[in-house]
Amino acid sequence: MEDNFEDILGKAMRGTGLSDPILEFLTGVPEETIVKLKDGVFDEDALRKVAAPLGLDSVTLVERAKESWTPEPVSIEGLRQFNTPFEDMTVNYYLVWDAVSKEAAIFDTGTDASEGLKLVDELGLKLTHMFISHSHLDHILDRAAVEKHSPEIKTYVNAFEAVEGADRFVAGKTFSLGGLTIETRMTKGHSPGGTSYIVKGLAEQIAIVGDALFAQSMGGGMISHSDALATNRSELFTLSDETVVCPGHGPMTTVGEEKAHNPFFPEFK
């Protein structure tokens, strides 16, 4: 899992702008206890009390603190997740392919795309598209290696993201990959033009979401917390519960699992 309970707490506090003293005033939880919570010291009663003013669901926030839930494993033919190290965390990228035409697309590159490129060669795929979820360095660090491996590849990014040399599009554009369809949806807030890619045509619909949404957390509103929440609600939580969510960090999950277990979205509980 990408985030611990204290990470979720910190993102919500920064996003809402609620300081320790204000949170103490609203909840009666002493400021020194709030500081300890932010440092990862679990106090169930205090954590439950601070959840609501921060827009968090207390039950699933405590669930994360107790580490009592993880999403079900995902295995879909035509989809592969790769995990790469970056500083003190790891970053995901994804390979998607059409089994009939052998056309393939890579979604972000992480810090080292070599395993994905190796699979392309092993399966005899033709890598025709690179889709960038957002322009943060950890997600696109190995772009040059991908373009060197497949010189005819087209690289695409939302027009609001600053990625030199990529073809720019406006969210809502649809792409084809063999018999697969890839829809683009704006999930901004973590970045100016963060984009989720909805892939249809595999055994299950998948949503490759960058840092918009994580298993039991989200990327956080580095640009706008309210936009990050709002676009997740309008663009991701309107997808079917069976839709597989492929995040930029942490394990794959589903829309239904996040409705039930993500503290940032209490209205679905």
Residue-wise pLDDT for 6-33, tens only, equals 999 999 999 999 999 999 999 999 999 9
Residue-wise pLDDT for 67-83, tens only, equals 999 999 999 999 999 99
Q: Are residues 60 and 107 in the same domain?
A: no
Angle, alpha carbons 264-134-5 (nearest 5°): 25
In a domain, 23, yes or no: yes
Q: Are residues 60 and 84 in the same domain?
A: no
Number of domains making up the chain? 2
Are 87 and 46 in contact, with CB atoms under 8 Å apart? no
Are 28 and 46 in contact, with CB atoms under 8 Å apart? no
**Average pLDDT, integer, range 145-171:** 96
Q: Are residues 87 and 39 in the same domain?
A: no
Q: Whole-model pTM?
A: 0.96
- The rounded distance, in Å, linking the Cα atoms of 221 and 110 is 21
Taking alpha carbons only, the member of 165, 160, 157, 153 closest to residue 113 is 153
CATH of the domain at 11: 1.10.260
CATH of the domain at 211: 3.60.15.10
pLDDT computed for residue 220 by the predictor? 85
In a domain, 72, yes or no: no
What is the residue range of 15's domain? 5-66
- The rounded distance, in Å, linking the Cα atoms of 145 and 191 is 24
pLDDT band at 251 (very low <50, low <70, confident <90, very high): very high
Q: Are residues 58 and 133 in the same domain?
A: no
Q: Are residues 50 and 114 in the same domain?
A: no
Q: Are residues 98 and 59 in the same domain?
A: no
Of 22, 42, 66, which one is at a domain's C-terminal end?
A: 66
- The rounded distance, in Å, linking the Cα atoms of 9 and 173 is 35
Angle, alpha carbons 182-186-190 (nearest 5°): 125
pLDDT computed for residue 29 by the predictor? 98
